[in-house]
Amino acid sequence: QKEVEQDPGPLSVPEGAIVSLNCTYSNSAFQYFMWYRQYSRKGPELLMYTYSSGNKEDGRFTAQVDKSSKYISLFIRDSQPSDSATYLCAMAGDMRFGAGTRLTVKP
């Protein structure tokens, strides 16, 4: 079993939709969780950094952590075409990534 599992998609939604991106992890020792956004041929950009279970909100983005289920989510409200990118989850500590989910927001 991989340490971080993420559905690679692709995921296509209309502009304005709510997007839900998810990852599961196997190592309960993970304490910090991060979401990155990567545009084609660019380095990943840190979107959200969370520690505890629960929700963390930043503008249109909400990160959710459920440590009991080893499940993390990223929600994007009012999605925009500029949100089209690959979204990657990572567990701090060893900085291994999930497969990344390719998101396309259609105008």
Q: Which positions touch other proteins (CB under 8 A)?
A: 8, 34, 36, 41-46, 49, 88, 90, 92, 94-100, 102
Strands (E), 51-93: 54-58, 61-66, 71-76, 85-91
Q: Is-contact 92 31, C-beta < 8 A?
A: yes
Give the C-alpha separation, 56 to 62, whole Å.
Answer: 6
Q: Which is nearer to other proteins, 19 or 34 (CB)?
A: 34
Q: Smallest distance from the beta carbon of 58 to other proteins, in angstroms?
A: 12
Q: Smallest distance from the beta carbon of 1 to other proteins, in angstroms?
A: 16
Q: Which is nearer to other proteins, 42 or 77 (CB)?
A: 42
Q: Smallest distance from the beta carbon of 16 to other proteins, in angstroms?
A: 27
Q: Which is nearer to other proteins, 16 or 42 (CB)?
A: 42
Q: Using DSSP bridges, classify how beta strands 101-106 and 11-14 pair: parallel, antiparallel or unpaired.
A: parallel
Q: What are phi and psi of 56, to 5 degrees?
A: -135, 130
Q: Smallest distance from the beta carbon of 46 to other proteins, in angstroms?
A: 6
